[in-house]
Amino acid sequence: MSTAYQIVVCAGIVPDPLQTLEPVASPTGPALKNEMMLPAVLDPWASHALYEAANLAKNAPGSKVWLVSLGPKAKLQQVMMTVAQRVPFELVALDGPASGFTEAAEVAAALAEVIQTIPGLDRSRLLVFGGWESASRGAGATMQMVGERLGIVDQFQGVDELKVNPDGSLDILERIEGGKHQVSKCVGPPALLGWATGNLPEPKNNPQVGMTNMRAVMPALQKAKAVKLAGEGLTFASVTLPKQMRETKVVKDKLPDEIAAEIVEWIKK
């Protein structure tokens, strides 16, 4: 593996999934109740992208990872205190809303613009990673639009595995319909990969990595560019929590086929 890659990971922050989320109407549109009080985490989809990027950089000497994130500075600082201990990266922060009610096209434009300002970026070595989906901006379109704005035409979505061949080409395992995978081949960078789950475990905390990262994270947060997402033309007819329904029935001495048939009938209703 002779190529030294420049890997840019786009990752947002989301409320901790263990929290109860309640949508409310605010003066600027839909929002989450007490959103700024909710503990936040790095988007789970983007986390896989970050860990895969760090693993690739570790196995390709000379490679570097940037983490580009759009969110409120206070929340970014809270999340970085944990994420920074996982893997080495350089943070590029944008101070703006992290709500799931933002428009994907505006988010993509802001991310692409700041990526282009990274000093010394070499397109011949550039790989852009991100989540195939998102726990907040689940449109499944943000990364595609980031790639288009950067002029990257080799895009792969639903990626579970990346293998670098001796000739520098990339074998990419992508999810397709029917629970199947396809293996795509890319001659090399620049390329964009939207990651699904990957196949790497979550890295253990490393205080030394955390201390090294935080030396650069705090200055990056202090000089984070403020981004305002206008959401022009975007309206919501209503925003409500999904309805919960539970019907319990206790029956003894019933055959599995009969139980299955009854469940099917209940679903059809």
The per-residue pLDDT for 1 is 47
**258 pLDDT higher than 50:** yes
Residues 6+ apart with CB under 8 A from 204: 86
Q: Which class for 162: exposed (0-12), middle (13-18), buried (19 or more C-beta within 10 A)?
A: buried
**Is residue 190 reached through a cis peptide bond, with omega within 30 degrees of 0 on the bond before it?**
yes
The residue type of 218 is M
Token readout for 185 is 């081949």
Q: What is the pLDDT of residue 30?
A: 66
Rounding to the nearest 10 degrees, give the CA dihedral for residues 32, 34, 217, 201: -60
The Cα 131–Cα 175 span in angstroms is 13
The pLDDT value given to residue 40: 80
CA dist 164 and 203 (Å) reads 21
Pick the residue with more confidence: 239 or 130?
A: 130
Instruction: Kindly tell me if the per-residue pLDDT of 254 is higher than 90.
Output: no
- The full set of domain ranges for the chain reads 6-226
Tokens of 225: 């560019």
pLDDT at 16: 73
Q: How confident is the model at residue 231 (pLDDT cuts 50, 70, 90)?
A: low
Q: How confident is the model at residue 269 (pLDDT cuts 50, 70, 90)?
A: confident
Q: Among 32-46, 121-135, 195-209, name the one with the lowest average pLDDT.
A: 32-46
**How many whole angstroms separate alpha carbon 171 and alpha carbon 174?**
10
- CB atoms inside a 10 Å sphere around CB 104: 18
CATH of 6-226, picked from 1.10.340.30, 3.40.50.620, 3.40.50.720, 3.40.50.300, is 3.40.50.620
- For 87-144, what is each residue's pLDDT tens digit? 888 888 888 877 767 777 888 888 899 899 899 888 889 999 988 877 665 667 888 8
Supply 259's token pair: 């139980």
218-240 burial, b for 16+ CB within 10 Å, e for fewer? eebbeebeebebebeeeeeeeee
Strand partners, 23: 32
| pLDDT, averaged across the chain | 83
What pLDDT, on a 0 to 100 scale, did the predictor assign at position 5?
A: 92
Bridge-based pairing of strands 170-176 and 155-164 is: antiparallel
Distance separating alpha carbons of residues 111 and 169, to the nearest angstrom: 26
Q: Taking the complete model, does pTM exceed 0.85, yes or no? A: no
pLDDT of residue 2: 63
